């Protein structure tokens, strides 16, 4: 199973996304030598023991840490996390997003 995490936050996503990537989240799939990029504030993780609830906690923990040193504070507008079978997905290949 994989976890798909998508979110909206009140400020720049660059640092939050970088920190999520350090935890193993990815912003792309690779299948048959083709790269499929996810939308800008959507990532996935393939760790078997990760749950949607833990993915939400990862995001909130990163934002709390960032809020210790940034101003204005980052606010979470909405978050959705869901588990999905890694063998069952469909996508349209896009171009690499810019942050």
Q: What is the pLDDT of residue 34?
A: 86
Number of domains in the chain: 1
Domain membership of residue 44 (yes or no) is yes
- The domain spanning residue 66 has which CATH number? 3.30.70.2360
Q: What is the pLDDT of residue 99?
A: 56
Report which of 52, 48, 62 is spatially closest to residue 15, judged by C-alpha positions. 62
Q: What is the pTM of this model?
A: 0.87
Domain membership of residue 93 (yes or no) is no
**79 neighbors 59 (Cβ within 8 angstroms):** yes
Domain that holds residue 71: 2-84
Domain membership of residue 90 (yes or no) is no
Domain membership of residue 60 (yes or no) is yes
Mean pLDDT by 10 residues, the chain (99 residues): 94 91 94 87 91 97 93 94 83 69
Domain membership of residue 99 (yes or no) is no
Cβ atoms within 10 Å of 74's Cβ, excluding its own: 19
Q: What is the pLDDT of residue 98?
A: 66
């Amino acid at each position: 199973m994989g976890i798909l995490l998508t979110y909206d936050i009140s400020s720049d996503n660059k640092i939050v996304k970088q920190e999520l990537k350090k935890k193993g989240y990815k912003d792309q799939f690779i299948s048959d030598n083709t790269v499929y990029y996810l939308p800008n504030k959507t990532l996935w993780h393939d760790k078997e023991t990760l749950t949607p609830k833990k993915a939400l906690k990862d995001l909130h923990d990163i934002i709390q840490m960032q809020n210790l040193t940034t101003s204005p504070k980052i606010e979470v507008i909405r978050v959705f996390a869901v588990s999905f079978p890694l063998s069952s997905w469909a996508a349209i290949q896009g171009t690499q997003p810019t942050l």
